[in-house]
């Protein structure tokens, strides 16, 4: 009888506080393929230097606390926080942007720029603090230009990634469809993350594959770097085309990953860029978009089919737990050293508080 009561209360605990344990954040910056332009009109006393960059987002299984909204400026690989509206309500503005950036709505976090000059790439990042790391953080960017128009930079990095979450079984293959900047000297980067580091922030990324060729050396083989975690399992589409008897190599950033493992679950960022064009613009030329991969393991890994949303102790190792949401697995995690997973309390706990199921 006592055992039954414990079982019932554990289930009730799942349903009340861990319903929809995993949620996915998806950010959309409308018209991200085009510039936000500001044209100065020196003779017009009514002219104001003001621009808006829109941002929309969805969080599947809305969290109880509002997400953190962050706007950044720079390249995908190197950007600076200019504005941050934390989950707690606190607002930070970088001193260089004081009085020149604002956000009026947390549900539609459009960035309002006043008295800005020059150009830059601006990123809208949305972080669900209840689901930190790969599933809970997404961002997209758009370019801003201030000037007379004719000096607008021409062909810049662009991409279009299919952001529909991909479901795959262990051992299967995923194809992450990304179209973008190509050419014999393109630099294509796929990274996974961000993952959270112990005692630190959630800002650690893994380079899955980087394929690049330098300007002036387009006849040589491109350099390819692959993470040891993906050796022999990843490939990029490569196409050839012929113009006036010359054959050109074209990189298409679409990524294929074979022999999927549970640890492959997460968020993948496609980031192609020209290396030969507009090098004077520096790395601001690099855009990125992300897609989530969800791995379901019907074989050796425990299945989530039919299980209520929540985290479950791993049957093979009680220091590990796996997360289920909507009947699908969101991967396996390991507790910090010395701790084991307490399924009833849904946390990593001291071993003497936990029965390995
Ligand atoms: C990429 O380009 C191909 C061919 O033009 C098209 O069929 C596909 O829908 C595009 N994918 C994305 C994500 O834009
Ligand atoms: C490989 O994956 C493991 C587990 O996901 C991770 O801890 C490690 O940092 C990854 N390796 C690299 C080079 O990022």
pLDDT in tens, 60-89: 888 889 999 999 998 888 889 999 999 999
Report the mean per-residue pLDDT for the chain: 83
Which range in 128-132, 205-209, 285-289 is most confidently predicted, on average pLDDT? 205-209
Identify the CATH homologous superfamily for domain 2-15+309-353: Chitin binding domain (2.170.140.10)
* Atom number, ligand 2, closest to the C-alpha of residue 228: 13
Outline which parts of the chain fall under CATH 2.170.140.10. 2-15+309-353
> C-alpha distances in angstroms, 346 versus 15, 19, 298, 331?
12, 12, 23, 15
Asked whether the predicted pLDDT for residue 158 surpasses 90, the reply is no
Q: Which residue has the higher pLDDT, 7 or 186?
A: 186
Asked whether the predicted pLDDT for residue 150 surpasses 70, the reply is no
Asked whether the predicted pLDDT for residue 198 surpasses 80, the reply is no
In the prediction, which pLDDT does 269 show? 97
CATH 2.70.98.50 fits 25-152, yes or no: no
Q: Which ligand sits closest to the CA of 160?
A: 1
Assess whether the C-beta atom of 129 lies below 6 angstroms from ligand 1. no
Contacts of 245 (CB under 8 A, 6+ apart): none
Asked whether the predicted pLDDT for residue 155 surpasses 70, the reply is no
| Average pLDDT of the segment spanning 326-342 | 84
Q: How confident is the model at residue 240 (pLDDT cuts 50, 70, 90)?
A: low
Ligand 1 pocket test target in 158, 175, 177 with most atoms within 8 Å of CB: 177
In the prediction, which pLDDT does 115 show? 93
- CATH number belonging to the domain at 156-289, selected among 2.120.10.90, 3.40.50.300, 3.90.1150.10, 2.60.40.10: 2.60.40.10
Token pair of 242, please?
């012929």
Sign of the Cα torsion 194, 23, 288, 183 reads positive
The region of weakest confidence among 54-58, 222-226, 276-280, 332-336 is: 276-280
Contacts of 145 (CB under 8 A, 6+ apart): 35, 36, 37, 38, 119, 152, 153
- Residues framing ligand 2 (Cβ under 6 A): 206, 227-229, 263
Outline which parts of the chain fall under CATH 2.60.40.10. 25-152, 156-289
For the chain, what percent of residues have pLDDT higher than 70? 79
From ligand 1's centre to the CA of 29, what distance in Å? Answer: 19
């Amino acid at each position: 009888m006592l055992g039954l009561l414990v079982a019932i209360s554990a289930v009730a605990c799942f349903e009340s506080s861990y319903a929809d344990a995993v949620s996915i954040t998806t950010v959309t910056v409308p018209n991200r393929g085009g510039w936000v332009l500001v044209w100065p009109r020196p003779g017009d006393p009514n002219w104001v230097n003001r621009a808006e960059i829109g941002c929309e987002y969805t969080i599947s299984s809305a969290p109880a606390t509002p997400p953190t909204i962050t706007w950044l400026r720079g390249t995908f690989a190197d950007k600076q926080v200019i504005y941050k509206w934390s989950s707690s309500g606190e607002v930070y503005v970088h001193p260089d942007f004081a009085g020149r950036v604002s956000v009026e709505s947390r549900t539609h976090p459009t960035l309002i720029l006043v008295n800005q000059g020059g150009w830059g790439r601006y990123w809208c990042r949305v972080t669900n603090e209840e689901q930190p790391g790969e599933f809970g953080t997404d961002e997209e960017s758009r370019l801003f230009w201030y000037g007379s128009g004719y000096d607008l930079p021409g062909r810049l990095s662009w991409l279009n990634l299919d952001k529909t979450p991909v479901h795959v079984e262990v051992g299967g293959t995923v194809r992450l469809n990304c179209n973008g900047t190509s050419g014999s000297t393109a630099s294509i980067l796929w990274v996974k993350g961000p993952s959270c580091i112990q005692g630190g922030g959630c800002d650690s990324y893994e380079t899955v594959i980087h394929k690049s060729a330098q300007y002036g050396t387009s006849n040589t083989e491109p350099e390819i770097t692959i993470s040891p975690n993906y050796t022999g399992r990843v490939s990029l589409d490569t196409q050839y085309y012929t113009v006036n008897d010359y054959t050109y190599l074209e990189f298409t950033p679409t990524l294929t990953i074979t022999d999927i493992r549970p640890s492959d679950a997460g968020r993948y960022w496609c980031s192609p860029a020209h290396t030969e064009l507009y090098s004077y613009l520096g790395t601001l030329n690099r855009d990125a978009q992300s897609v989530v991969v969800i791995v379901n393991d019907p074989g050796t890994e425990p299945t989530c089919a039919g299980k209520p949303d929540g985290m479950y102790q791993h049957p093979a190792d009680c220091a590990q737990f796996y997360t289920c949401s909507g009947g699908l697995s969101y991967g396996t995690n390991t507790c910090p050293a010395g701790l084991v997973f307490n399924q009833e309390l849904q946390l990593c706990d001291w071993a003497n508080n936990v029965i390995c199921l």
